[in-house]
Amino acid sequence: MQVKKNPDVDVNRNSGLYFAIGLCLMLLTTNGLLNYKTYDKQDIALDILQMGELEVEDDIPIVDVNIPPPPPPPQAAPEVITIVEDVEEVEETVIESTETSMEEAIEERVEVSDVDVEEVEEDISVPFTVVEKVPIWPGCTGNNNDELKKCFQDQMVKHVNKNFEYPQQALELQIRGKVFVMFVIDSKGYVANVQVRGPDKILEKEASRIIALIPKMEPGKQRGKPVTIPYSLPINFVLAD
């Protein structure tokens, strides 16, 4: 005899659906358990702020300040209306052009002889070794430029030896050395633009003093005109051993 089953009461009919639902529930439960976190209750601090009732002092003194009322706003000045008479017409000034044309002739002619030409003397500098006529020291004589040049140099050496004084401070400090002096004899025969260079300021000052005592001389000449002559002179400060 064959057993007949009712298809409505078959338990295996939706088994696949039930399996899928159970699997999802299991996965969700597992995920929740893995991500679940717990905290120690000892690390949680509960701060409680306690505030008491505010005490109201009834005996606070009340100070009355008498403030004067603000001054009334100033009264506006009455508006004054001034009646101005009609302004007289002003005549316009016509400015004529001062430009000339090619057709206009120049009335006044200026001759070249009427123009004053002022000659400006050039301060020419010529080296001592090539100048046509060297500066002449007072008392020097000679038949040519070489003799005047030798006399100039001899007198320069005599002048230095005559006026030389070893500075006392340099003697005490044992300062010695050579001082190079550069100066010019200008077109009027005076010594100018003195420059010194040496081992110490004391020696430089003494060398400048000696050069400043050089007398006025007849200036050097080039092509018959006075010129400026540069000159250099070494002065050696030596201490005797």
Q: Residue 206 — very low, low, confident or very high, per pLDDT cuts 50/70/90?
A: very high
Domains observed in the chain = 145-237 (3.30.1150.10)
Please give the span between the terminal C-alpha atoms of the chain, in angstroms, as a whole number: 160
Other beta carbons within 10 angstroms of residue 218's beta carbon come to 17
Is the torsion defined by CA of 194, 198, 202, 206 positive or negative?
negative
Q: Any idea which of 68-72, 99-103, 134-138 has the lowest mean pLDDT?
A: 68-72
pLDDT in tens, 35-81: 877 766 555 444 444 444 444 444 444 444 444 555 666 665 555 55
Q: How far is 141 from 227, CA to CA, in rounded Å?
A: 20
DSSP assignment, residue 136?
Answer: B
Residue 211: per-residue pLDDT = 93
**Within a 13 Å sphere around the CA of 68, how many CA atoms are in the beta-carbon half?**
3
Q: How far is 192 from 183, CA to CA, in rounded Å?
A: 6
